Amino acid sequence: MIRRLVRGIITLLFGAAGFYLDNVLFKFLGITHLGESFGLSISIFWTYIISFILFSIIGFLLAPACMKFFLALVKWLESRITRMPIQELIGGSLGVIIGLLIASLFRGSFAEVPFIGPVLSVAVSLFLGYVGLIIGIKRKDDILGFLPKLRGDKDKDKLKAKIKQTISGYKVLDTSVIIDGRIADIVRTGFLDGILLIPGFVLEELRHIADSSDMLKRNRGRRGLDILNQISKNEHIKVEIYERDFDDITEVDSKLVRLAGILDAPILTNDYNLNKVAELQGIKVLNINELANAVKPVVLPGEEMDVQVMKEGKESGQGIAYLDDGTMVVIDGGRKYIGQQTTVLVTTVLQTAAGRMIFAKPKVVLEKSSEEFPHEINALC
C-alpha cells in the first residue's frame, strides 16, 4: 500500500514537472507564434494536458528505480552519519543552517529572473548548503570553541563535563563477556562505573544461542541471558540497550568495533581476537582475562605450595595441577603423584596473553636430590 502511494506521488511530481516545462517553453520559445508562422494552430490547453500525461507515464515507469535509488541514498547517508563523531555532526549542521540562511537572502533577487528564477533559487540553496556543510565539518573545532564563550567560563566547564560524561561514560559489552559471567561479580563489587551498553545485535546473538539445538550452546545462551538480568537489577551501575543496527555489516565483532568507534567507548570482552582487532583500530579494550591475571596472587620462584595433581601433562613424566583461581601448574616429574596432594617448589612463572602458567617440581624429589648430592647443590648455591 505504501509503495503504491509513493509511486503515485512520484507520478504526480513528474506530471507537474512536465506541466511546468511546457509553461516555460511556451513563454521562452513562443511556440504559439512559431506555429502560426507555419499555418498551424497550437492550443495551449491541450499541450498542457499532453505534457502532463506524457511526463506522468514516464514518472510511473521510473518510480521503482527512483524509490530504489532513494532508499540506497538514505542507507548510505545513515551509514556515513553514524560513523561521524558528534563534533562533526554539530559543526556540519550549523554550517548547513548558516548556508541556507544566506541563500534565503538571495531568493528575492532570483524571483525577478524570468523562467528559470525558481530553478536558480533551488540550485543556489543546495550549493550554499553544501558549502556550509563542508566548512562546518572542517572548522568544527573553531565553531564548538566559540559557542561556549557566549555563555561564559562556568557554562563552558559544565558543557565540557556533560559532553565528556555522555561520550565516555559508556562501556560496550560483547557476547563472550556476558556468557562468561564474571562481569556480574565485577559489577557487584562496584569497581565499574558509567553505563553498560548492550547492543541489540548482541542480544539477538544471545537469543539465537539460547534457541540452539545444541544443548551446550543452549545452556551458554541461557546463562548469558540470566547474567544480563542480574546486571540490570544491580544498583551500582546503569544498563542501557542500544537498538540501532549496522545493516551494511554482518559480523557481530565488526559491529561492536564500529559502535565503539562512534561512541568513543571501550569494549568489555574476553575474546582474544576481538581484543587484537579493536586495538589495531584504536579502540580501547577492557579485557576480563587481563583483569583476572592482574589480581591473581603473585607467585615467585622458590616458593612452596600445596597442590593436588589432577592429570598427566603433555611431556613425559609431567603432572598437571590447578590453583583455586584456575592457574595451571605444570609439575616436572609429578605424574606419579596423580590424585594425591603434594608439596611442590616453584621453578618458573610464565606470563602469557592467555594467562599465567607455573612450572614446579615436587619438593620430595628436590630434598632427596640435595641429600644424595650435597656438594653439587652447595656449589650451585
Beta strand ranges found along 180-246 (DSSP E): 195-199, 238-242
pLDDT for 381 beyond 60: no
In the chain, the N- to C-terminal Cα span, in Å, equals 90
Domains and CATH numbers, the chain: 1-83 (no CATH), 86-161 (no CATH), 169-294 (3.40.50.1010), 304-380 (2.40.50.140)
Q: How far apart are CA 272 and CA 291, in angstroms?
A: 13
**Which amino acid is it at 94?**
L
Q: What is the grid cell recorded at 154?
A: 562556568
pLDDT mean over 33-47: 56
Tens digit of each residue's pLDDT (9 = 90 or more) over 117-171: 667 777 778 888 788 778 877 777 666 666 554 444 445 455 445 544 444 578 8
Q: How far apart are CA 336 and CA 318, in angstroms?
A: 9
Q: Are 220 and 328 in contact (CB under 8 A)?
A: no
Tens digit of each residue's pLDDT (9 = 90 or more) over 304-336: 888 999 998 888 889 999 887 778 899 998 888
Q: Please indicate, yes or no, whether the overall pTM of this predicted structure exceeds 0.75.
A: no
Tens digit of each residue's pLDDT (9 = 90 or more) over 237-264: 888 888 878 877 888 888 888 888 888 8
3-state DSSP assignment of residue 307: strand
223-226: Cβ within 8 A, 24+ apart: 223/179, 223/181, 224/175, 224/178, 224/179
Q: How far apart are CA 243 and CA 359, in angstroms?
A: 48
Q: What is the grid cell recorded at 50?
A: 499532453
Q: Which residue has the cell 617440581?
A: 361
Q: Which residue has the cell 556476558?
A: 178
Q: Are 35 and 43 in contact (CB under 8 A)?
A: no
Tens digit of each residue's pLDDT (9 = 90 or more) over 352-365: 656 678 899 998 65
